[in-house]
């Protein structure tokens, strides 16, 4: 295992940047857990594949969310498929010009909750990573509310 080839995903930077709960700790428990996971993944080639109904919906409606965002902004955007990296991090922002990342809310409740909450620290650090990779000083996080695909609705009914 070559530790020099390990790169942190932008989507995981929030784990590393979490403040410890007490001043006597050097790094947070979240950071420790994530570092162990990164080590195991690099050393043994194993990954945890966490799938939830929320992430599945996000993946299934990604193109629809991008289309909705394009209509809202009155500008055509295409999904970036290229992964960028530097010496420490790697990431694949949804839109690369003026870094933009699209999040698809689970339902109308989670969509409107984002309006009154502070930015999720995980998303904040993800965007910081993207801006570093793209050498950009601005980023946008766009929440979209898209109809849930029938396949997920039928799974919920069961």
How do residues 7-24 score in pLDDT, each as one tens digit?
Answer: 999 999 999 998 889 888
Q: What's residue 20's pLDDT?
A: 87
Mean pLDDT score across all residues of the chain: 92
Higher per-residue pLDDT: 132 or 49? 132
Q: What pLDDT digit, counting tens, does each position of 76-92 carry?
A: 999 999 999 999 999 99
Where do the DSSP E strands lie in the chain?
Answer: 8-9, 84-85, 89-91, 100-104, 140-144
Token readout for 4 is 């020099």
CB-CB contact of 1 with 38 (8 Å): no
Question: Confidence class of residue 153 from pLDDT cuts 50, 70 and 90?
Answer: confident
Q: What's residue 46's pLDDT?
A: 86
> Mean pLDDT across the stretch 48-56?
86
The model's pTM: 0.89
Beta bridge partners of 103: 143
Instruction: Report percent pLDDT > 70 for the chain.
Output: 97
3-state SS, residue 18: coil
Residue (of 11, 84, 16) closest to 50 by Cα position: 11
Higher per-residue pLDDT: 48 or 62? 62
């Amino acid at each position: 295992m070559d530790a020099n080839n390990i790169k942190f995903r932008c989507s995981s930077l929030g784990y590393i940047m979490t403040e410890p709960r007490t001043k006597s700790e050097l790094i947070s428990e979240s950071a420790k857990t994530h570092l162990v996971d990164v080590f195991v993944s690099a050393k043994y080639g194993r990954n945890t594949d966490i799938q939830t109904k929320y992430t599945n919906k996000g993946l299934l409606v990604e193109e629809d969310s991008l289309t909705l965002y394009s209509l809202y902004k009155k500008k055509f955007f295409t999904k970036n498929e290229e992964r960028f990296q530097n010496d420490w991090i790697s990431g694949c922002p949804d839109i690369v010009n003026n870094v933009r990342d699209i999040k698809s809310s689970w339902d109308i409740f989670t969509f409107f909750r984002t309006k009154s909450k502070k930015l999720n620290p995980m998303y904040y650090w993800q965007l910081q990573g993207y801006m570093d990779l793209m050498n950009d000083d601005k980023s946008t996080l766009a929440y979209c509310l898209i109809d849930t695909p029938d396949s997920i609705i039928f799974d919920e009914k069961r």
